[in-house]
Structure 1
């Protein structure tokens, strides 16, 4: 199992799509505060602090994660079916459960790395331009660590969902197209269905899609904190099991 995981991590480091995504997000993360700073200087407005950029970048990072994972899933997972790599791995003697688990771990690692680039880089650049400023909490360091930790956790939850659908479609184009539409529309679909059937609103309120928007709250305590911590963990477990079941029964050509 460890050899399979190491192989997936090696492939992740060499994956062109992963590196291009990292470079693209780095460029956007650096350009965003610089353009904002120049615009404010031109208009005579006060510069936006690094703390303010951190809060806004965590919210915007939801879209970076959704779009980035959709593209990465198509090239890192689905493309291996069409190129024959998955068939070679499946015939190597390792169980399919271990193969999928290793692939999921490698994909999750890439997703977690990608999820930190935008908030960290944009905050650092904004802080260099106009100082970090103050966060609306007493313990700024604890808030930063908590928010970034939850970002990693929710990126892993989204990665498990993307990996599951990648195993179903086994085609990079179909996977990317479906995941982009799915991640864009799922909030509206669940909320729309929830207006007629409260069950779907309950599902949405306790899903990674909704709760990731709450990780930047200044205070998370008690039941709310437990819910925010458990939801992505349960999502990873459930989607991971479903992915294993699909992969074990799938005919690989």
Structure 2
């Protein structure tokens, strides 16, 4: 299993799409704060400090997570179907369950790296421009580690969903398109249906799609932590099992 995971990390390191995605997000992360910097400078408004920018705009990082997972699923997983690599891997003697688990781990780690680009690059840039400043008064000194830790956890949950779509669809274009549409529309759909049907309201409230918004809260009540941690972990486990189930029965050509 260790060798399978190491092989996935090697492929991730050599994957051009992964590095292109990192560079593209880094450029956006550098440009985004500059728009606010020059706008505030021209209007005479106080500049954002690094801490203010992180606490204010960390919620926007969910779009980078969704986009990154969708693109990486298409180019990192599905490309192996098109190139015939997946068929070779499936006939290597390892069980398909172990193969999918290793691929999910490599894919999730790549997605987690992508998810850190915006908060780290933009915060460092704003800090260099205006100083770090102070965190929100109601937050603790663990605000930044907590934000980054939960970002990684929820990104892994999104990655599990993306990997499941990848093995179901097996085509890069379809996987990217379906994943992006799903990630962008699921909140609207569940919230809309949930306003009329209690079951769907509860389902949405207890899903990663709603709870990911709590990452940016200045403080989190101790009673909210179990749900905040268990929901993404259960999402990862469920999607991994569904992915393995599909991958085992998939006719790989």
Compute the TM-score of the two structures, normalised by the length of structure 2. Answer: 0.97
Contact 1:61 1:118 in 2 (8 A): yes
Q: CA deviation at 1:44?
A: 1.5
Structure-1 residue corresponding to 2:116: 116
Structure 2 CA distance for aligned equivalents of residues 113 and 210 of structure 1: 22
Structure 1 CA distance for aligned equivalents of residues 123 and 141 of structure 2: 14
Structure-2 residue corresponding to 1:74: 74
* Runs of at least 5 residues in structure 2 that lack an aligned partner in the other structure: none
Structure-2 residue corresponding to 1:192: 192
Q: CA deviation at 1:136?
A: 1.4
Q: CA deviation at 1:222?
A: 2.6
* Runs of at least 5 residues in structure 1 that lack an aligned partner in the other structure: none
Could you report, residue by residue, the CA deviation over 1:112-131 in whole angstroms, capped at 9, with x for unpaired residues? 11111101110110011011
Q: CA deviation at 1:140?
A: 4.4
Q: CA deviation at 1:142?
A: 0.6
Could you report, residue by residue, the CA deviation over 1:143-195 in whole angstroms, capped at 9, with x for unpaired residues? 11011100000000000000001110000000001001000100011011112
Q: CA deviation at 1:139?
A: 5.8
- C-alpha RMSD over aligned residues: 1.1
For the pair 1:17 / 2:17, whether they are aligned, the reply is yes
Structure 1 CA distance for aligned equivalents of residues 77 and 56 of structure 2: 31
Contact 1:57 1:122 in 2 (8 A): no
Deviating runs (4+, > 6 A) in structure 1? none
Contact 2:147 2:216 in 1 (8 A): yes
Task: Give aligned pairs, total.
Answer: 253
Structure-1 residue corresponding to 2:170: 170
